[in-house]
Amino acid sequence: ARRAGTWAADRCARLLPHEMADFSKVARAGSPEERLLRRLDRTRMPRHVAIIMDGNGRWAKGRGLPRVEGHRAGVAAVRDVIEVAAQLGIEVLTLYAFSVENWKRPRYEVWALMNLLKDYLRRELPQLVDHGIRLQLVGRWRELDPSVVAQLEKALEATADGRGMQLNIALNYSGRCEIVDACRDIVADWAGGERVEIDEETIGRYLYTSGQPDPDLLIRSSGEQRVSNFLLWQIAYAEIWMTDTLWPDFRRRHFMEAIVDFQARNRRFGAVPAADEESAADRGSA
- What is the set of active-site residues? 54, 102
Closer residue to ligand FPP in complex, CB, 26/117: 117
Nearest to 225 by CA among 253, 238, 244, 239: 244
Among left, alpha and beta (phi > 0; psi -120 to 50; other), residue 64 is left
Q: Which is nearer to ligand FPP, 79 or 182 (CB)?
A: 79
For β-strands 166-173 and 134-138, DSSP reports them as parallel
Cβ at position 116, least distance to ligand FPP in Å: 5
CB-nearer residue toward ligand FPP: 37 or 165: 165
Is 86 within 8 Å of 41 (Cβ atoms)? no
**8 A C-beta contact, residue 199 and residue 176:** no
Told to check if 254 binds ligand FPP by CB under 6 A, we report no
Cα 64 from Cα 222, distance rounded (Å):
18
Residue placing its CB nearer to ligand FPP in the complex, 124 or 178: 124
Closest approach of ligand FPP to the CB of residue 63, in Å: 12
Among 56, 159, 166, 174, binds ligand FPP (CB under 6 A): 56
- Which residue from 54, 80, 178, 239 is in contact with ligand FPP, where contact means CB under 6 A? 54
CA distance 185 to 227: 25
Question: How many angstroms separate the CA atoms of 66 and 62, rounded?
Answer: 10
Binding segment for ligand FPP among 54-62, 143-151, 179-187, 276-284 (CB under 6 A)? Answer: 54-62
Stretch that binds ligand FPP, among 6-14, 72-80, 131-139, 202-210 (CB under 6 A): 72-80
Question: Is residue 75 at the binding interface for ligand FPP, with CB under 6 A as the rule?
Answer: yes
| Alpha carbons 39 and 54: distance in angstroms, whole number | 27
Question: Contact between 55 and ligand FPP (CB under 6 A)?
Answer: yes
Residue number, nearest CB to ligand FPP? 57
Q: Which of 47, 9, 43 is nearest to 25 (CA)?
A: 9
Spatial distance between the Cα atoms of 15 and 91, rounded to a whole number of angstroms: 12
- The angle formed by the CA atoms of residues 233, 219 and 105, to the nearest 5 degrees, is 80
What is the pattern of x (binds ligand FPP, CB under 6 A) and - over residues 112-151? -x--xx--x-------------------------------
Cβ burial of 55 (10 Å; 0-12, 13-18, 19+) is buried
Give min distance, CB of 186 to ligand FPP, in A: 30
Smallest CA-to-CA distance from 218 within 82, 51, 81, 85 is with: 51
Which of 133, 152, 169, 218 touches ligand FPP (CB under 6 A)? 169
Task: Give the single-character DSSP code of 164.
Answer: S
Instruction: State the nearest-atom distance from the C-beta of 177 to ligand FPP, in Å.
Output: 17
97 counts as binding ligand FPP under rule CB under 6 A: yes
Least Å distance, CB 84 to ligand FPP, is 15
Of 11, 48, 71, 134, the residue at the interface with ligand FPP (CB under 6 A) is: 71
- Site residues (vs ligand FPP, CB under 6 A): 53-58, 71, 74-75, 78, 95, 97, 102, 113, 116-117, 120, 169, 222, 247
